[in-house]
Structure 1
Amino acid sequence: MHYAAPSSLPSDYAILSRYAGHNGDAHEDDSDAEERERDSLLPPEDEERPGRRSSLPPPFIRPLNPTIAPISARDKSLGPVPTENTPLLNPLVPRIEEEVDAPGHDSETTLSRRVWEEIKILVKYTLPVFGSHVLEYSLVVASVISIGHLSTTALAAATLGSMTASVTGLSIVQGFASALDTMLPSAWTSSEPKLVGLWAQRMAVVMAACLIPILFVWFNAESILLFLKQEPEVAHLAGIYLKWTSIGLPAYMFNSISRRYFQSQGLFTVPTRIIMVVAPINAVLNYFLVWGPKPFSLGFIGAPIATAISFNLISIASIIYGVFFVPRTAWYPISRRSFTSLGILVQLGLSGAAQVCSEWWSWELVGLAASLLGPAALATQSVLLVSASTTFQAPFALSVATSVRVGNLLGEENAKRAGIAANSSLLVTLAIASIASTMFMIFRKSWGHLFNDDPAVVELVASILPLVALFQVFDGLGATTGGILRARGKQFTGAMLNLSGYYLIGIPFGLWLAFKRDMGLAGLWIGLTVSLVFVATIGAYLCLGADWEREVEKVRVRLAADKRAEQRAGAQQHV
Structure 2
Amino acid sequence: MSKQFVYTTDERRSSVIYSTSAGKGGLLIPQDYIPSSSRDTVIDELSDENIDVETGEGPGYESLLDANNSRTLQREAEQQSYGTLENEFMEASPISRRNSVSKRLVDEERDLLIDNKLLDEETHNNQGSSSSEEEQIFARAHENEDEVTEVLDTWETVLDSGKTISTTYKREIQVITYNALPLIFTFILQNSLSLASIFSVSHLGTKELGAVTLGSMTANIMGLAAIQGLCTCLDTLCSQAYGAKNYRLVGILVQRCAVITILAFLPVMYIWWSWSEFLLSAMIPEKELCYLASRYLRITALGVPGFILFECGKRFLQCQGIFHASTIVLFVCAPLNAIMNYLFVWDKRIGIGYLGAPLSVAINYWLMAFGLLLYTVSTNHETNPLKCWNGIIKKHQVFKNWRKMFNLALPGIIMVEAEFLGFEILTIFASHINTASLGAQSIVATVASFAYQVPFSISVCTSTRVANLVGASLYKSCIITCKVSLLLSFVCSSINMFIIFNFKRQIAALFSNEEEVKLLVVSALSILAIMELFDAFNASTAGCLRGQGRQKIGGYINLFAFYCIGIPMAYLLTFVFKMGINGLWTGITCALMMMSICQGYAVFHGDWEKILLAAKLRNSETAGHR
Counterpart selection for 1:93 from 100, 105, 109: 100
Cα distance in 2, alignment partners of residues 407 and 198 from structure 1: 29
Cα RMSD (Å): 4.9
Could you give the per-residue CA deviations for residues 163-195 of structure 1, whole angstroms, max 9, x where no partner exists? Answer: 22111122223344566778999x89xx94969
Could you give the per-residue CA deviations for residues 294-334 of structure 1, whole angstroms, max 9, x where no partner exists? Answer: 8x777765543432332222223223334523221788735
The aligned amino acid for 1:400 is V
Counterpart selection for 1:325 from 380, 396, 414: 380
Task: Tell me: CA distance 1:216–1:379, structure 2 relative to 1, closer, same or farther (3 Å).
Answer: closer
Counterpart selection for 2:86 from 82, 86, 105: 82
Task: Tell me: CA distance 1:533–1:3, structure 2 relative to 1, closer, same or farther (3 Å).
Answer: farther
The aligned amino acid for 2:622 is L
Contact 1:438/1:469 (CA < 8 Å) preserved in 2?
Answer: yes
Task: Tell me: CA distance 1:171–1:264, structure 2 relative to 1, closer, same or farther (3 Å).
Answer: same
Task: Tell me: CA distance 1:484–1:204, structure 2 relative to 1, closer, same or farther (3 Å).
Answer: farther
Could you give the per-residue CA deviations for residues 436-491 of structure 1, whole angstroms, max 9, x where no partner exists? Answer: 22334445677655555777766665655453233212212323344455566666
Cα distance in 2, alignment partners of residues 414 and 184 from structure 1: 28
Cα distance in 1, alignment partners of residues 186 and 381 from structure 2: 19
Task: Tell me: CA distance 1:345–1:156, structure 2 relative to 1, closer, same or farther (3 Å).
Answer: same
Cα distance in 2, alignment partners of residues 448 and 175 from structure 1: 33
| Residue of structure 2 equivalent to 1:549 | 612
Could you give the per-residue CA deviations for residues 221-252 of structure 1, whole angstroms, max 9, x where no partner exists? Answer: 23143144267776565445434323332332
Cα distance in 2, alignment partners of residues 437 and 275 from structure 1: 28
| Residue of structure 1 equivalent to 2:459 | 399
Cα distance in 2, alignment partners of residues 158 and 46 from structure 1: 41
Deviation at 1:270, TM superposition (A): 4.1
Contact 1:50/1:342 (CA < 8 Å) preserved in 2?
Answer: no
Greater alpha carbon shift after TM alignment, 386-395 vs 482-491? 482-491
| Residue of structure 2 equivalent to 1:358 | 418
Contact 2:195/2:446 (CA < 8 Å) preserved in 1?
Answer: no
Contact 2:538/2:596 (CA < 8 Å) preserved in 1?
Answer: yes
Task: Tell me: CA distance 1:435–1:141, structure 2 relative to 1, closer, same or farther (3 Å).
Answer: closer
Contact 2:314/2:326 (CA < 8 Å) preserved in 1?
Answer: yes
The aligned amino acid for 1:128 is P
Contact 1:446/1:458 (CA < 8 Å) preserved in 2?
Answer: no
The aligned amino acid for 2:177 is V
| Residue of structure 2 equivalent to 1:67 | none
Greater alpha carbon shift after TM alignment, 531-540 vs 491-500? 491-500
| Residue of structure 2 equivalent to 1:217 | 268
Matched, 1:248 2:298: no
Deviation at 1:492, TM superposition (A): 4.5
| Residue of structure 2 equivalent to 1:311 | 365
Q: Percent identity?
A: 29
- Structure 2, gaps ≥5 residues long: 1-15, 25-31, 47-81, 119-163
Contact 1:366/1:524 (CA < 8 Å) preserved in 2?
Answer: yes
| Residue of structure 2 equivalent to 1:71 | none
Contact 1:484/1:543 (CA < 8 Å) preserved in 2?
Answer: yes
The aligned amino acid for 1:556 is N
The aligned amino acid for 1:394 is V
Contact 1:50/1:344 (CA < 8 Å) preserved in 2?
Answer: no
Contact 1:402/1:422 (CA < 8 Å) preserved in 2?
Answer: yes
Cα distance in 2, alignment partners of residues 535 and 256 from structure 1: 29
Cα distance in 2, alignment partners of residues 442 and 305 from structure 1: 35
Deviation at 1:531, TM superposition (A): 1.0
Matched, 1:522 2:582: yes
Cα distance in 2, alignment partners of residues 181 and 46 from structure 1: 13
Cα distance in 2, alignment partners of residues 402 and 180 from structure 1: 24
Contact 2:221/2:421 (CA < 8 Å) preserved in 1?
Answer: yes
Task: Tell me: CA distance 1:143–1:527, structure 2 relative to 1, closer, same or farther (3 Å).
Answer: closer
Cα distance in 2, alignment partners of residues 357 and 205 from structure 1: 22
Greater alpha carbon shift after TM alignment, 302-311 vs 522-531? 302-311
The 3-state SS of whatever aligns with 1:327 is coil
Cα distance in 2, alignment partners of residues 150 and 456 from structure 1: 15
Cα distance in 1, alignment partners of residues 167 and 289 from structure 2: 58
Report how many residues are paired.
Answer: 505
Deviation at 1:259, TM superposition (A): 4.7
The 3-state SS of whatever aligns with 1:394 is helix
Contact 1:79/1:413 (CA < 8 Å) preserved in 2?
Answer: no
Cα distance in 1, alignment partners of residues 366 and 165 from structure 2: 46
Contact 1:40/1:344 (CA < 8 Å) preserved in 2?
Answer: no
The aligned amino acid for 1:245 is T
| Residue of structure 2 equivalent to 1:56 | none
Cα distance in 1, alignment partners of residues 232 and 544 from structure 2: 12
| Residue of structure 2 equivalent to 1:131 | 185
Deviation at 1:142, TM superposition (A): 4.2
**Which of the two has higher C-alpha Rg?**
2
| Residue of structure 2 equivalent to 1:64 | none
Task: Tell me: CA distance 1:448–1:494, structure 2 relative to 1, closer, same or farther (3 Å).
Answer: same
Cα distance in 2, alignment partners of residues 388 and 151 from structure 1: 21
Cα distance in 2, alignment partners of residues 460 and 499 from structure 1: 28
Cα distance in 2, alignment partners of residues 398 and 310 from structure 1: 28
Counterpart selection for 1:540 from 592, 597, 600: 600
Task: Tell me: CA distance 1:199–1:528, structure 2 relative to 1, closer, same or farther (3 Å).
Answer: farther
Deviation at 1:131, TM superposition (A): 1.5
The aligned amino acid for 1:474 is F
Cα distance in 1, alignment partners of residues 323 and 523 from structure 2: 39
Contact 2:198/2:209 (CA < 8 Å) preserved in 1?
Answer: yes
Deviation at 1:199, TM superposition (A): 7.1
Could you give the per-residue CA deviations for residues 84-131 of structure 1, whole angstroms, max 9, x where no partner exists? Answer: 499999543241336332284465489885443233222222222222
The aligned amino acid for 1:133 is F
Task: Tell me: CA distance 1:460–1:225, structure 2 relative to 1, closer, same or farther (3 Å).
Answer: closer
Cα distance in 2, alignment partners of residues 421 and 184 from structure 1: 31
Cα distance in 2, alignment partners of residues 122 and 476 from structure 1: 15
Task: Tell me: CA distance 1:344–1:480, structure 2 relative to 1, closer, same or farther (3 Å).
Answer: farther
Greater alpha carbon shift after TM alignment, 455-464 vs 428-437? 455-464
| Residue of structure 1 equivalent to 2:150 | none
Matched, 1:368 2:428: yes
The 3-state SS of whatever aligns with 2:86 is coil
Greater alpha carbon shift after TM alignment, 457-466 vs 502-511? 457-466
- Please list, as runs of the form range in 1=range in 2, the aligned pairs for 1:276-355 lying within 5 A after superposition: 276-286=331-341, 303-323=357-377, 324-328=379-383, 333=388, 346-347=406-407, 349-355=409-415
| Residue of structure 2 equivalent to 1:385 | 445
Task: Tell me: CA distance 1:536–1:556, structure 2 relative to 1, closer, same or farther (3 Å).
Answer: same
The 3-state SS of whatever aligns with 2:388 is coil
| Residue of structure 1 equivalent to 2:74 | none
Contact 1:348/1:491 (CA < 8 Å) preserved in 2?
Answer: no
Deviation at 1:137, TM superposition (A): 3.3
Greater alpha carbon shift after TM alignment, 301-310 vs 220-229? 301-310
TM-score (norm: length of structure 1): 0.69
Task: Tell me: CA distance 1:136–1:445, structure 2 relative to 1, closer, same or farther (3 Å).
Answer: closer
Greater alpha carbon shift after TM alignment, 92-101 vs 525-534? 92-101
Deviation at 1:347, TM superposition (A): 4.8
Cα distance in 2, alignment partners of residues 288 and 453 from structure 1: 20
Contact 2:209/2:439 (CA < 8 Å) preserved in 1?
Answer: no
Contact 2:444/2:525 (CA < 8 Å) preserved in 1?
Answer: yes
| Residue of structure 1 equivalent to 2:278 | 226
